[in-house]
Amino acid sequence: MDKLWISILLLLGFTFSLFAADRITGKMFATRSEVIGTHGMVAASQPLAVQVGIDILKKGGSAVDAAIAVNAALGLMEPTSCGIGGDLFAIVWDNKTQKLYGLNASGTAPLALNLEYFKKQGLKQIPYHGPLPWTVPGCVDGWFELHKKFGKLDMKTVLQPAADYAENGFPLSELIAHYWQRSVMLFKEYENFQKLYAPGGKLLQKGDIFKNPELAKTLRLIAAKGRDAFYKGEIARAMVAYSQKVGGFFQMKDFEDFHAEWVEPLGVNYKGYDVWELPPNGQGIAVLQMLNMLRAFDLKAMGHNSAEYLHTLVEIKKIVYEDRARFYADPRFVKVSIKRLLSVEYAGERLKYFNPARANRNIPAGDGILEKGDTIYLTVVDKDFNAVSLIQSNYSGFGSGMVPDGLGFCFQDRGQLFSLEEGHPNVIEPGKRPFHTIIPAMVTKNGKPVFTYGVMGGDMQPQGHVQVLLNIVEFGMNIQEAGDAARFYHTGSSEPDYGTMTDGGELHLESGVVPEVVRTLMGKGHKIVGERGGFGGYQGIWIDNERGVLIGASESRKDGCAIGY
């Protein structure tokens, strides 16, 4: 009998030890606790860059000052996803004016490049790499527009940390090193790229120290001489000279004419929360269209990540993405009724395509080239509860792969998202901005911001925005759990030749979705292709206005973190 009790006690002890390794608060799938502070919060995808933002806040900088500093550091530390050769979008809450502001700092196609050129070359799609997908980089002008309106510290102070890291070096973090290595192998034919990102022919590893003195010089020049150094001065001249050397189409007028645009954020109400996105040429209104349609369902009763819940979200996504592919374009060139797209009546009309029993394989309208993307998202809230939701990208990994001589960064390849179909709203035209995948978001309640967040990653972004928000609003998750919860990612909403979707696309599911749900979804006709990358990268800050507390969360699928003080 004594031996039996000893065995039972040992078994119980072993059982308790198993549970001791799990979380004792919150959801068991959460990777960490939320971060809580009162005087400021920064969340981004690289820890050293996050610390740069905190240091700027401690110097008395505004949320915008810190956001610019973090973005500059990420352009050095995560060039796989962003940099000053790319574009920027931001939503800012200004506590003084009690108002939201939107900034579209996305660049235009070269004035010398048009559809006729691609026809003569026999191209059906703009390539991802080389000089043909270049558009004017909008990031730097975006920084200065934000700073002019909301900055406190001078730009030399704001850009100094990134310049110092570029000159003195920093160690590569794990996931960034992984994507870095893949790109070095991809861009073997680009000499400037190899010299900069594989110094001495070395394939850099996690923890290796990387220096970029050329970028340090560029950042210091921008800090000293302002945005005109980039768009009218010696940096612009260097970019144009490189373009002429490698067969690009840039000329000085492309840079001289460029200016970021202040825009009005667009919002819809979902169960008491006002959700804000930016208007096209970005895809943010896809989030709003999806939420408008999802209000018709009792999602909470379905259960989180149940077969019924996932089927509903995926099918609504399919319907909205056909509009996204057909209608989202530069509003300066194409007149589309955003008011109608976001109306309750229109949401009801589009719901006729929803089938609760079967996966839809054919929905009217749409094209299918708007898919890939590597991006950084960051968010900052300062001591006065001014908030910045900022997203910045060079599009695909390292952008075009082409590094202008002596400047230390890659040109983006965002022009790859132009259509080459004559008459398409997103067809390439001189001076036109392409369709954009990068979208920042902010949520307000009773006229005050409560949540600033984003989910980076190409066409995953609207899907991610909706999933994270529903995790909070419908299922009561905290903002770390909302990001850690298993996600779906649906691809292939339409055919590459701009036809309609005919095969239903592919549904990627993370491993947290249980096998019984997967089987049920397959029975409804979904093509399940299993877990893979591409589920996005999330950062978020919750603003508890009542208690004066900031709560931060960071994506477990990235290298980053949230830090408060």
Least Cα distance to 52 among 70, 79, 35 occurs for 70
Q: Which residues are catalytic?
A: 375
CA distances to 33, 34, 36, 383, 514 from 28, in Å: 11, 14, 20, 32, 15
The DSSP H or E segment spanning 462 is: helix 460-473
Same domain, 452 and 324: yes
**pLDDT tens for each residue of 5-23:** 444 433 444 333 333 347 7
**pLDDT tens for each residue of 508-524:** 999 899 999 999 999 99
- Which backbone phi and psi does 427 adopt, to 5 degrees? -65, 145
**Residue tagged 């394989």 (tokens):** 361
Gap between the Cα atoms of 459 and 466, Å rounded: 12
Same domain, 490 and 395: no
- Lowest-confidence region among 93-97, 111-115, 218-222, 556-560: 556-560
Per-residue pLDDT, 396 = 87
Per-residue pLDDT, 23 = 79
Per-residue pLDDT, 5 = 46
Using pLDDT thresholds of 50, 70 and 90, give the confidence band for residue 325: confident
Same domain, 192 and 341: no
Residue 313 lies in a domain: yes
- Higher-scoring residue by pLDDT: 424, 310: 310
Q: Which residue segment(s) compose the domain that 456 sits in?
A: 265-370+439-564
Nearby residues of 30 by Cβ (< 8 Å), 6 or more positions away = 23, 478, 480, 481, 484
Same domain, 173 and 246: yes
Same domain, 270 and 258: no
Per-residue pLDDT, 532 = 67
Per-residue pLDDT, 2 = 53
Same domain, 320 and 409: no
Gap between the Cα atoms of 91 and 216, Å rounded: 28
| Amino acid code (one letter) for 432 | K
Number of domains in the chain: 2
Same domain, 151 and 81: yes
Gap between the Cα atoms of 64 and 380, Å rounded: 8
Same domain, 251 and 122: yes
SS3 sequence of 427-449: ECCCCCCCCECCCCEEEEECCEE
Gap between the Cα atoms of 503 and 97, Å rounded: 49
Per DSSP, the residues of 94-162 read ETTTTEEEEEEE-----TT--HHHHHHHT-SS--SSSSTT-----HHHHHHHHHHHH--S-HHHHHHHH
Helix runs in 247-358, H state only: 252-256, 285-294, 299-302, 307-327, 338-341, 344-350
Least Cα distance to 398 among 406, 410, 408 occurs for 410
**pLDDT tens for each residue of 169-219:** 999 999 999 999 999 999 999 999 999 999 999 999 999 999 999 999 999
Same domain, 551 and 452: yes
Nearby residues of 26 by Cβ (< 8 Å), 6 or more positions away = 33, 478, 480, 481
Structure tokens at 87: 């574009």
Task: Classify burial at 565, counting beta carbons within 10 Å of its beta carbon; exposed 0-12, middle 13-18, buried 19 or more.
Answer: middle
Q: Which of 355, 383, 417 is the last residue of a domain?
A: 417
**pLDDT tens for each residue of 363-394:** 765 333 334 445 789 999 999 999 999 999 99
Residue 512 lies in a domain: yes
**Residue tagged 């649906």 (tokens):** 490
Residue 547 lies in a domain: yes
Same domain, 187 and 208: yes
Same domain, 196 and 288: no
Nearby residues of 424 by Cβ (< 8 Å), 6 or more positions away = 367, 498
**pLDDT tens for each residue of 454-504:** 998 888 999 999 999 999 999 999 999 999 999 999 988 753 333 455 578
Residue 432 lies in a domain: no
Per-residue pLDDT, 372 = 45
